[in-house]
């Protein structure tokens, strides 16, 4: 009897008329695929067949509770090489959506963007510009913004002229088990709270992992970010961001960079082969008019559980070579501009180079370098319960093979 009751409850929780809508590659694929996304109902699954879909316009989904599934990131490919507009490849503006098991290539704009889409899962996706790192590539590969409950798992991103994985102005975020290569920024968390970046492989970008907070955005006050168990190695691609982009200022060979954020914890990462520095902690230096904004980093905890290899040997900074020589041949583990009270926190054994700046906007000519090891209490760092370890069982179930 108990099994019968459980079965009835399970059936009641499912959409009454959920359908599987299959779309195969071939003649009329643009219209047939967009029509399927328009006509889908909550609970439906849009299944994309194996093959290459040659698309000339971006796609959109605004229906809650829909799954879009392919046959695999290298088996079902949405190819936007002939895209006519400059928008994203796929735009999602609805909640409780799952995107999984397909690839997106060569969009004119962003690869996959979701805006205001809560409870969204990106799983086993590949978004790539196949021509390699070019300024003309789209800005973001995987791009959720203004959302709560974001899960990005097992995605591969290559060639973004801004960030491969970018999560902005959002809350309760997990980015895990993913590969980011040949982007300006591999992974970027911006103006967001309660984020965990874990178990990712981040290599051959300009900068590996960025945690930024910027002014003049609808959602302000980024913080409470845990960056753990990532491999951040050999980020050696020259910066190819368009001029004027905020990440155009990221030095080549930046491992993990934190700007104007608070309560950021770096733990159990492997950081090696990054020419400028393993960890960079800086204030925001540009002018702004936003009374809500704090431009200084606060409580950036760098644990001695991280493994730091050979970093800081050729800083991509004006006068960087001379600076490295002045401090013994290589920048220490942490390069800090010197701005912000309690900006850098360690639990011992992690050396930092303070550039000794006294105000925002100073350049290397104003540096007064000093090697310091800060041992402020670990309790000041972002190790509290606000960092999401996992999402709801329902969201986790949607990110499984």
Question: How do residues 254-287 score in pLDDT, each as one tens digit?
Answer: 999 999 999 999 999 999 999 999 999 999 988 8
pLDDT for 12 equals 42
Tokens of 81: 């090489």
- pTM confidence score: 0.93
pLDDT tens digits, one per residue of 71-128: 999 999 999 999 998 899 999 999 999 999 999 999 999 999 999 999 999 999 999 9
Strands 67-69 and 90-92: unpaired
Q: What is the token pair recorded at 313?
A: 């040997």
Of 35-39, 68-72, 76-80, 350-354, the poorest mean pLDDT is in 350-354
Name the one residue in this structure whose structure tokens are 């050396």.
351
* pLDDT per position as a tens digit, 293-330: 999 999 999 999 999 999 999 999 888 888 888 888 89
CB 83 within 8 A of CB 54: no
H or E segment and range at residue 185: strand 185-190
Q: Report pLDDT for 158.
A: 98
Distant-in-sequence, close-in-space partners of 378: CB < 8 Å, separation ≥ 6: 301, 303, 345, 347
More confident residue, 341 or 382: 341
Residue 6 pLDDT class (50, 70, 90 cuts) = very low
What mean pLDDT is predicted for residues 230-256? 97
Is pLDDT at 356 greater than 50 in this prediction? yes
CB 273 within 8 A of CB 236: yes
**What's the rounded Cα separation, in Å, for the pair 155 and 50?**
18
Listed by start position, the domains of the chain span: 19-388
Torsion of CA 396, 185, 73, 393, to 10 degrees: 0
Please give the pLDDT value at position 16: 53
Closest of 138, 61, 62 to residue 104, by C-alpha: 138
Q: 10-24, 87-101, 132-146, 325-339 — which is least confidently predicted?
A: 10-24
CA distance 140 to 356: 34
What pLDDT sits at residue 215? 93
Residues 19-388, CATH architecture: 3 Solenoid (2.160)
Token pair, residue 122, equals 């990106």
End-to-end CA distance of the chain: 32
Reply yes or no on whether the pLDDT at 289 is more than 60.
yes
Banded model confidence at residue 373, pLDDT cuts 50, 70, 90: low
The answer to whether 295 and 336 are in contact (CB under 8 A) is: no
Asked if residue 270 lies in contact with residue 305, where contact means CB atoms within 8 angstroms, the answer is no
Q: What is the mean pLDDT of residues 210-235?
A: 94
> Tokens standing for 147?
């959302």
């Amino acid at each position: 009897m108990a099994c019968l009751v459980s079965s009835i409850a399970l059936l009641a929780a499912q959409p009454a008329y959920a359908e599987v809508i299959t779309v195969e590659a071939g003649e009329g694929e643009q219209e047939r695929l967009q029509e399927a996304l328009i006509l889908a109902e909550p609970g439906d699954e849009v299944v994309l067949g194996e093959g290459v879909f040659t698309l000339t316009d971006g796609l959109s989904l605004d229906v809650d509770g829909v799954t879009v599934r392919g046959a695999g990131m290298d088996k079902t490919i949405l190819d936007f090489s002939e895209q006519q507009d400059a928008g994203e490849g796929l735009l999602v503006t609805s909640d409780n959506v799952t995107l999984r098991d397909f690839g997106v290539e060569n969009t004119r704009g962003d690869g996959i963007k979701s805006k205001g889409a809560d409870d969204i899962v990106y799983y086993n996706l590949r978004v790539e510009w196949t021509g390699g790192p070019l300024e003309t590539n789209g800005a973001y590969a995987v791009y959720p913004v203004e959302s709560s409950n974001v899960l990005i798992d097992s995605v591969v991103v290559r060639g973004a002229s801004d960030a491969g994985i970018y999560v902005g102005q959002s809350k309760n975020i997990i980015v895990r088990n993913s590969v980011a290569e040949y982007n300006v920024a591999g992974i970027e968390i911006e103006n967001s709270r309660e984020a965990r970046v874990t178990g990712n492989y981040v290599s051959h970008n300009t900068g590996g992992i960025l945690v930024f907070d910027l002014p003049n955005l609808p959602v302000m006050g980024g913080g409470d970010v845990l960056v753990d168990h990532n491999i951040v190695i050999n980020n050696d691609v020259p910066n190819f961001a368009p001029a004027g982009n905020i990440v155009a200022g990221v030095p080549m060979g930046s491992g993990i960079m934190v700007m104007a954020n608070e309560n950021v914890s770096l733990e159990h990462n492997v950081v090696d082969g990054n020419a400028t520095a393993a960890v960079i902690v800086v204030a925001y230096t540009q002018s702004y008019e936003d009374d809500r904004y704090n431009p200084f980093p606060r409580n950036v905890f760098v644990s001695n559980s991280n493994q730091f290899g050979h970093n800081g040997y050729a800083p991509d900074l004006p006068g960087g070579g001379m600076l490295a020589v002045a401090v013994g041949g290589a920048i220490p583990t942490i390069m800090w501009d010197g701005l912000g009270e309690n900006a850098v926190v360690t639990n011992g054994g992690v050396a930092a180079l303070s550039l000794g700046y006294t105000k925002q906007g100073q350049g290397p000519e104003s540096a007064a370098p000093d090697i310091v090891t800060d041992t402020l209490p670990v309790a000041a760092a972002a190790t509290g319960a606000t960092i999401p370890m996992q999402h709801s069982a329902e969201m986790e179930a949607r990110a499984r093979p």
